Structure 1
Amino acid sequence: MVLVNIKQMTDQREIYGVFGIKEISDTLYLMLIEECTLMGQVNNSNIFRIEKLLYIPISRSQSNQISRQARPFIQMIDKIVAEKAFYFSYDMDLTKSIQQNVKSFIKNTKQSDLEKLKSLYPNVIEYQHKYAFNDHLFNEIPSNDYAPFIVPCIYGFVYIKPVQLESTKLILTLISRKDCRRPGRRFISRGIDENGNVSNYVETEHLITYYDQQKLRVASFVQTRGSIPLIWSQKPTMKYSPAVKVNQNIDDSLKYARIHVNEQKDSFGDQVFVNLIDKKGTQLRIGQQFTRLIDNLGDQQVDYTWFDFHHECRNMKYENLAKLLNIIQDKVDNFGYFQAVLNFGFDKRDKIDQNSVTIMNTQRGAVRTNCMDCLDRTNVFQSVLSRQVLHKQIWKQESAATNVLNIQPFEKFYPSLEDSFREAWTNNADALSILYSGTPALKTDFTRTGKRTLKGALNDGKNSVKRYYINNFCLIFLRIFMKSYFPIEDRNFKQMIFHGIVYLFSFFADDVYKFKQAMVKDLLMSLQDNFDIKSDQMMLLHWCEYEEKIDSQKKIEK
């Protein structure tokens, strides 16, 4: 955490943009990007990842008091930044797909001052608010005047890797951008809200770019994931798999789902909804309600497939995903993918117009995949679909005579591209899983190696235990930040954290004895490190010990 008073600043510092301005304890703080890492280039545009922020109070300054009161909130922001999930670019609008970027460049006429500003800073003036994590931090900034300094950041994952394919050097890119309108982590945030926003909604785009005769060739494919668009919840109860509660009145969910589906169609065109949850247990009930929802929508632009991933791929038979691909193949082929030839890269976007761009294909639909968390099963299937489309894109670019209609679902690429492709999707799985559940993804041994292994299954078990702990105790920072909670005093903020933890323990007292003392101590140490709660820690520890004594007494009486 770097916290300074603007009146006391005497040194010069290099900054990379304005992350935003926020009021904390009656003081406005200017948040600047102080450190970042260059991830690579996409269409000649540099893509950066934020590493550290600088915080400067810019109003009502008594710096020592401000620092004390603001410290817990700023520590919370730093923890989110430490997840290494914020990305930005000066030349390319990361909140938009390549297809949307190119179309935006072409339509800018520069006839007015605003249009000229849009041309110079399109990623600031016309970005998609739903994918800009720090959008709510720009409210105090007159954006048109400060356009050169504002940096909208996506929250998600970016992978960029140059790959040599015989005589051609291409760049493989994978970008995942999370929708920030329904924040919250696993179990805390599920389903749909009254505005049609769903939890853990992510748009993922793979791209390949390369130069051919001094022209930039680009191809991309977009797919999405998101929580089942019903009113449902799955609150943490210290059970490994908490009970699912689904609103049984389909009409309540229908009006919100219609908003969500219409936005999907407006953004991408026709839709294929792929549902990967189980057809048994608690997942069966929500799956049946989802099926009824689609039936009641009666939308001819929406196809729906329920594929029980765990049943169909049991005994590690992931090759059975070929069945699912066969079901949706015709639709995916009709959707197509984006393909264009550009005379200029995005670093010269002011020169990009209808005369300097040849759009050969556009993507006219998208596959929307879900499981319960939209993490592990979803990422496996998305990687398989991406592989199949990428094969077609490469063969199309090379004008190969190979019959692309007979592509096998798991057919390998050239070795160099194969390694990069697997790395991209495995890292994407881990990154998105950490943002939603707090742990790396499950089932990534298949994404990384192409087969399910015993070692991978054991590693999944370890990560499942971690998720259990984190989802019951540790997922609060992001929710508070996005919901704009501001502590008036440091003590109040600590009490809120403490009472939240005590509530969890007290409400589920019958299960407390099942937790080892080490786990409780880990929790207390975490609180101590972050919020300096010493007396409260002792209260919580004594409470836990008291519950264990009561439980022991019950056993003796029995």
Structure 2
Amino acid sequence: MTLPYRDINVHVAADSYTFTSPSSPNAPGLIVDRPTGDVRLSEGTSYPSKRASKVSSVAGILGMIRLRLDKYVIVITKAQPIGRLKGHMVYKIISTDFLPMRERQIRDPDEDQFLSLLKTYIMTGPMYFSYSLDLTNSFQRQASMDSASPLWMRADDRFFWNKFVQTDLMNFRKMGSRSQQGSQPGADPYILPIIWGTLEIRPTTFKSTPLTIVLITRKSRYRAGTRYFTRGLDEDGHAANYNETEQVVVLNDTGSGLGGYAGSADMQSGKFGASEGREMQIMSYVQTRGSVPVYWAEINELKYTPRLQVRGIETAVPAAKKHFDEQIRIYGDNYLVNLVNQKGREKRVKEAYEQMVQMLVTSPSEKVNADAISDEKFHVIQPTSSQQEFDRLHYVYFDFHHETKGMQLHRAMMLVEKLHDALIAQQYFRGVDMPANGGLETRNFQTSVVRTNCMDSLDRTNVVQSMFARWTLDRIFTDLGLLQRGETFATADPAFEFLFRNIWADNADTVSKAYSGTGAMKTDLTRLGKRSRQGTLQDGNVAVSRYYLNNFKDGPRQDAYDLFLGAYEPSTANIGSSLIFADRRPILIQSIPYMLAFSVFLVLVGLFTKRSPDSAVLPTRLFILFWMAVAGWSLSFILKNGMLYVNWPKLNPRPWATEGYQETIGKVRKDKLIGSLVAKHERGLSTARYLNAEEGKKRIE
């Protein structure tokens, strides 16, 4: 089994970067030639250390990325150990560095902006890796894999977060280069898979029984993005904000394990994982979350509630089939728990989801439950037969907001009761660690999955996922004999209950920050088990923060995702010089927020500046009234034409955003007060002249 190197030295020379492992002195080094960025393996063990101007140690190679002007090797300069899982150390990336192929003599604004996006939004994100354990796959999937193949070859394509930036290394490994043709297995130890999400490992006790509880959330690299710029499905069936969450209990875990690259003596002797003669057992339970699987969007216009757009259901059927084909193939039956509101603006999304399920399953059977609180407490759509693949979809709508109104969040447990029989049949994965045989021996399979969503698949979703996880954990402890039948861990061990609540609340915050930019709402329920006034106030603070971030900050964050994950490639994009991030709005449009700020400042000056006793009052009042009128007009203009002031993604413009912008700017051109000024500016920068200018620049280059 080939594992990634735990220790890598970087030899920096004028003509190359050479990566070597001190613990494997006989293995070939990886050479990245400068300035071409071509990859090759060193011949024998002759490293260019004498020519190296600098030698430094790194924790691993995150990948290689080509921006507009240059290619960079991204190295992990610092990694923090966060705990051992099944004896394997797991690390969180703390800091990274970009090694350029060229020494740049001039500053390029676009190149600097690309690097800034990656360093600000991606490199600071929650990324985890292990040198010896596959973090991208659930334990159930790991149990059926060939553990002899390299770690990166076993990685789940969806959660191999740095796969795009590892493309150069993977291609070299598979096909070689012009100078070294054919497969290059010597490159395997330099390819390190990373996941993005939550990874908490907590060694603890439950009723005096030592165990480790682990929570892993893996964010999909497909259709990754921000809250209002990435919704629903894409044409390949990838859902926005898709995450797989795995709750793991490890019994008889070991504190020792892979002490070095080759593993410990215990592992090699086959005794690895034994604790007082007992087998190490792994119990895991997997859930998924993802955006409502239809074509839909929410369009920012600076209003607190964005405009909702749901495209035709029929057009999304092929994408939904791709999505659920993959989900059923990987997880088996899918229980689709929908938590959006049944009334108001969310109703359209709810109905679109239900129409989609009805179109996918054979002879759908519907059942609606109502009570005094809600007209549609539950809405279940089940296939009446199992003639085809999509008859493994089971839709369950739960009116979360109505049922839990008035801080009655405990009523959400009704959903667990509704799915009781399905959860019993679903079971959970149980495996026994058998190092001598090369991995896990499966004793029990999880046969289906619960896929939960709300509008954002954040706050309500996390509350409900933690409830399913709680129910399953009670079942696991009961099966292990740690709980009596009917007993719960909440009452049996309050300290463990506190730990459980907090790791799920931390998970809520991590997933939410990646998508919305803030922590999650309703975490007081997850942490405390009830709604509190302080939690309600905190939710208000989160709502205001999300409004600001989603309108004014999420464009660059979306660009960073698209750049790192390969949805936008600067080297192949048809762009000119230093114009990608330029603000092309008319100057007058750009200036109105500054006019608003300036006029508010002058109003405050007029109100609070001391006047001499003999000065006239009327001029001051007229001054204040005039600037109040300017401020009022400026604010009204901004709110009325909000599409012009949202910070949109620049690299992959959203079609609906482009359409809305053009429609809004068209209205502004007809404005009686400033329309002529805006139109004059637009004529000065006509599309034809802009394209001609770009063509001229390309010829010069």
* TM-score category of the 2 structures, normalised to the smaller one: 0.7 to 0.9
Within 5 Å, give how 1:262-411 maps onto structure 2: 262-298=325-361, 299-344=390-435, 351-353=436-438, 357-398=440-481, 400=483, 402-403=484-485, 406=486, 411=490
Quickly say closer, same or farther: Cα 1:43–1:552, change in 2 above 3 A: closer
Is 1:7 matched with 2:14? yes
Quickly say closer, same or farther: Cα 1:90–1:5, change in 2 above 3 A: closer
What displacement does 1:256 show? 1.1
2:551 to 450, 472, 491: 472
Within 5 Å, give how 1:511-550 maps onto structure 2: 548=631, 550=633
Query: What SS does structure 2 have at the residue aligned with 1:140?
Result: helix
1:449 to 518, 523, 528: 528
Quickly say closer, same or farther: Cα 1:69–1:319, change in 2 above 3 A: closer
What displacement does 1:506 show? 5.1
CA distance in 1, matches of 2:86, 2:452: 28
How large is the Cα RMSD of the aligned pairs? Answer: 3.2
Q: Which AA in structure 2 matches 1:26?
A: L
Is 1:425 matched with 2:504? yes
Q: Which AA in structure 1 matches 2:339?
A: L
Q: Which AA in structure 2 matches 1:464?
A: A
Between 481-490 and 221-230, report the one with greater CA deviation.
481-490
Q: Deviations over 1:378-413 (max 9, x none)?
A: 00100111011011112222365x22xx466x9445
CA distance in 2, matches of 1:218, 1:73: 42
CA distance in 2, matches of 1:93, 1:517: 57
What displacement does 1:227 show? 0.1
Aligned to 1:535: none
Q: Which runs of 5+ in 1 are unaligned?
A: 109-115, 345-350, 519-543
CA distance in 1, matches of 2:597, 2:108: 40
Within 5 Å, give how 1:243-258 maps onto structure 2: 243-247=307-311, 249-258=312-321
Aligned to 1:42: 85
Is 1:133 matched with 2:176? no
Q: Which AA in structure 2 matches 1:12?
A: V
Quickly say closer, same or farther: Cα 1:546–1:63, change in 2 above 3 A: farther
CA distance in 2, matches of 1:332, 1:407: 17
Aligned identity (percent) is 28
Is 1:171 matched with 2:212? yes
What displacement does 1:243 show? 1.8
CA distance in 1, matches of 2:425, 2:556: 42
What displacement does 1:254 show? 1.6
CA distance in 2, matches of 1:328, 1:505: 58
Aligned to 1:533: none
Quickly say closer, same or farther: Cα 1:420–1:550, change in 2 above 3 A: same
Quickly say closer, same or farther: Cα 1:266–1:29, change in 2 above 3 A: same
Query: What SS does structure 2 have at the residue aligned with 1:12?
Result: strand
Question: Given that residues 440 and 463 in structure 1 are in contact (C-alpha distance below 8 angstroms), is that contact kept between their aligned partners in structure 2?
Answer: yes
Aligned to 1:538: none
Query: What SS does structure 1 have at the residue aligned with 2:80?
Result: strand
2:226 to 157, 175, 185: 185
Q: Which runs of 5+ in 2 are unaligned?
A: 1-9, 16-51, 174-184, 253-274, 362-389, 602-626, 638-671, 673-701
Aligned to 1:526: none
Quickly say closer, same or farther: Cα 1:203–1:505, change in 2 above 3 A: farther
Residue-pair matches, total:
495
Aligned to 1:240: 304
CA distance in 2, matches of 1:215, 1:98: 16
Quickly say closer, same or farther: Cα 1:290–1:67, change in 2 above 3 A: same
Question: Given that residues 289 and 453 in structure 2 are in contact (C-alpha distance below 8 angstroms), is that contact kept between their aligned partners in structure 1?
Answer: yes
Quickly say closer, same or farther: Cα 1:234–1:552, change in 2 above 3 A: closer
Quickly say closer, same or farther: Cα 1:551–1:272, change in 2 above 3 A: same
Is 1:224 matched with 2:288? yes
CA distance in 1, matches of 2:220, 2:232: 13
CA distance in 1, matches of 2:313, 2:597: 38
Query: What SS does structure 1 have at the residue aligned with 2:221?
Result: coil
Question: Given that residues 96 and 123 in structure 2 are in contact (C-alpha distance below 8 angstroms), is that contact kept between their aligned partners in structure 1?
Answer: no
Please, what TM-score do these two structures have when normalized by structure 1?
0.82
2:137 to 84, 96, 102: 96
CA distance in 1, matches of 2:153, 2:238: 23
CA distance in 1, matches of 2:452, 2:294: 15
Question: Given that residues 46 and 89 in structure 1 are in contact (C-alpha distance below 8 angstroms), is that contact kept between their aligned partners in structure 2?
Answer: yes
What displacement does 1:514 show? 11
Quickly say closer, same or farther: Cα 1:176–1:503, change in 2 above 3 A: farther
Between 273-282 and 124-133, report the one with greater CA deviation.
124-133
Quickly say closer, same or farther: Cα 1:437–1:201, change in 2 above 3 A: same
Question: Given that residues 434 and 440 in structure 1 are in contact (C-alpha distance below 8 angstroms), is that contact kept between their aligned partners in structure 2?
Answer: yes
Quickly say closer, same or farther: Cα 1:126–1:545, change in 2 above 3 A: farther
Question: Given that residues 233 and 239 in structure 2 are in contact (C-alpha distance below 8 angstroms), is that contact kept between their aligned partners in structure 1?
Answer: yes
What displacement does 1:98 show? 0.9
Query: What SS does structure 2 have at the residue aligned with 1:272?
Result: strand
CA distance in 2, matches of 1:516, 1:175: 51
Q: Which AA in structure 2 matches 1:218?
A: I
Please, what TM-score do these two structures have when normalized by structure 2?
0.66
Question: Given that residues 94 and 154 in structure 1 are in contact (C-alpha distance below 8 angstroms), is that contact kept between their aligned partners in structure 2?
Answer: yes
Within 5 Å, give how 1:55-70 maps onto structure 2: 55-58=98-101, 61-65=102-106, 70=111
Question: Given that residues 6 and 56 in structure 1 are in contact (C-alpha distance below 8 angstroms), is that contact kept between their aligned partners in structure 2?
Answer: no
What displacement does 1:550 show? 3.7
CA distance in 2, matches of 1:385, 1:287: 22
Q: Which AA in structure 2 matches 1:206?
A: Q
Quickly say closer, same or farther: Cα 1:516–1:44, change in 2 above 3 A: farther
Quickly say closer, same or farther: Cα 1:516–1:180, change in 2 above 3 A: farther
CA distance in 2, matches of 1:492, 1:137: 25
